[in-house]
Amino acid sequence: MKWIITKYLLTAAVVVLVSETAKRSDRFGGFVAALPMITILTLVWLYVENQPQARIANHAWYTFWYVVPTLPMFLAFPWLLPRIGFWWTLGASVVITVVCFGLFALLVKRFGIVLL
């Protein structure tokens, strides 16, 4: 039980670090948010919990492919925000990401990469 609490606290600390950094500096906050800290923590947790190397490697592999279709959202968000407000922009960003993910999954399936 202590291990799970430790995992939650460290992972939450990363989220707090990113949000607090972003409050102080847009650029540095964006830089810190772009770092794959959660992925690195997840890889560490999987390793420490004695998961097979294949599972750890697969996690990194799929994370790469799942990041690609999220990128358009980061372009749309700042463009939409002053036009439709925060909550509508957030919702639109989710829709954009889901649509991009679906289209991307269909595209990469042609190359033998199955995401869905």
Q: Where are the domains of the chain?
A: 1-51, 64-116
Name the maximum alpha-carbon separation found in the chain. 48
Residue 80: closest CA among 100, 103, 96: 96
Closest CA to 63 of 46, 50, 49, 85: 46
Of 58, 7, 11, which Cα lies nearest the Cα of 37? Answer: 11
State how far the Cα of 104 lies from the Cα of 65, in Å rounded to an integer.
9
Confidence class for position 3, pLDDT limits 50, 70, 90: confident
Query: What is the pLDDT averaged over residues 9-32?
Result: 88
Average pLDDT, the chain: 93
Question: Burial code of 71-97, b = ≥16 C-beta within 10 A, e = fewer?
Answer: eebeebeeebeeeeeeeebeebbeebb
Instruction: Render pLDDT for 55-99 as a digit per residue (tens, 0 to 9).
Output: 999 999 999 999 999 999 999 999 999 999 999 999 999 999 999
Q: CA dist 14 to 8, 42, 48, Å?
A: 10, 12, 18
